Amino acid sequence: MVRRSLLATIWIGFVGYTLWLAPLDQPFTWFFARNLVTLQWGEINAYLMAIFWMMGVWPMIYACLMFADGRMQNFPAWPFFIASNLSGVIGLLPYLLLRQRNQAFRDKKDYWLGLLERRSTGVVLLLTTLALIAFAVIVGDWNDYMAQFHSYAFVHLISLDFCLMGLIFPLTSLLDDDMQRRGVYRPERLWAIALVPLFGPLIYLCWRPALPNLPPTSATVSSSILEAL
């Protein structure tokens, strides 16, 4: 309950803060957005470029936990995954607030879930993150980035969004349930992973064992038939 209250407070606070700053009403927002999407590297500070593309890594980290978890919920995870790619933590948090805790997986893995299950997916995300950070450090101008952080709402909000993606990770029970689902849960192991920003979750995805590929239970089959009817 405490975790859920904190997540709700963060969501309400960040939505209000975003509306107050109103980045869409400012002309430089579209300048930054256009150049980031079209990879106009010479026009954008490398730190901002790295943060923007790592905001694609964070939703994938959550997806690797959410999609198996979503099979046991009363609603799918994919709309929230899409929303998190478009609006960051604002689109992600509703799933974390609505989901119910569970440590079971009683469904058959499809191709997409199998892809998210692979350790190689975690390795690709880890290497991508390392490459983006190296790019920012080598090419970027930290002082210029900090000046933009204080001057432009878009840079300010995307940077806060990136930080919030890491802040909420220890607050959600997604990792707890995923570890118990795979039989690797230990409190000290949980917090060692959850409290290391970004790299803790990435290393976990590279290490965790796969879920068993079980056929649906009779209850699941009966439910699916009833839904089809």
The three-state DSSP-derived secondary structure of 66-119 is: HHHHHCCCCCCCHHHHHHHHHHCHHHHHHHHHHCCCCCCCCCCCCHHHHHHHCH
Backbone angles phi, psi at 48, to 5 degrees: -65, -40
User: Which residue type sits at 132?
Assistant: L
- Which of 41-45, 171-175, 178-182 shows the lowest mean pLDDT across its residues? 41-45
Determine the Cα–Cα distance for residues 197 and 123; give it in Å rounded to an integer.
16
Determine the Cα–Cα distance for residues 129 and 54; give it in Å rounded to an integer.
7
User: In the predicted model, is pLDDT for residue 16 greater than 80?
Assistant: yes
Determine the Cα–Cα distance for residues 229 and 227; give it in Å rounded to an integer.
5
What's the mean pLDDT when you consider all of the chain? 87
The pLDDT > 90 percentage for the chain reads 66
Note the pLDDT of residue 213. 66
**CB under 8 Å to 112, separation ≥6 — which residues?**
67
DSSP character at residue 172: S
Determine the Cα–Cα distance for residues 214 and 225; give it in Å rounded to an integer.
18
User: How would residue 29 be classed by pLDDT, with cut points 50, 70 and 90?
Assistant: confident
Nearest to 122 by CA among 183, 205, 198: 205
CA angle in degrees (0–180, nearest 5) for 59-61-66? 80
- Rounding to the nearest 10 degrees, give the CA dihedral for residues 192, 197, 198, 204: 0
pLDDT digits (tens, 9 = 90+) for 39-82: 776 778 999 999 999 999 999 999 999 999 988 888 999 999 99
User: In the predicted model, is pLDDT for residue 100 greater than 80?
Assistant: yes
User: In the predicted model, is pLDDT for residue 137 greater than 90?
Assistant: yes
User: How would residue 224 be classed by pLDDT, with cut points 50, 70 and 90?
Assistant: very low
The pLDDT > 70 percentage for the chain reads 91
pLDDT digits (tens, 9 = 90+) for 106-123: 777 788 888 999 999 999
Determine the Cα–Cα distance for residues 214 and 137; give it in Å rounded to an integer.
45
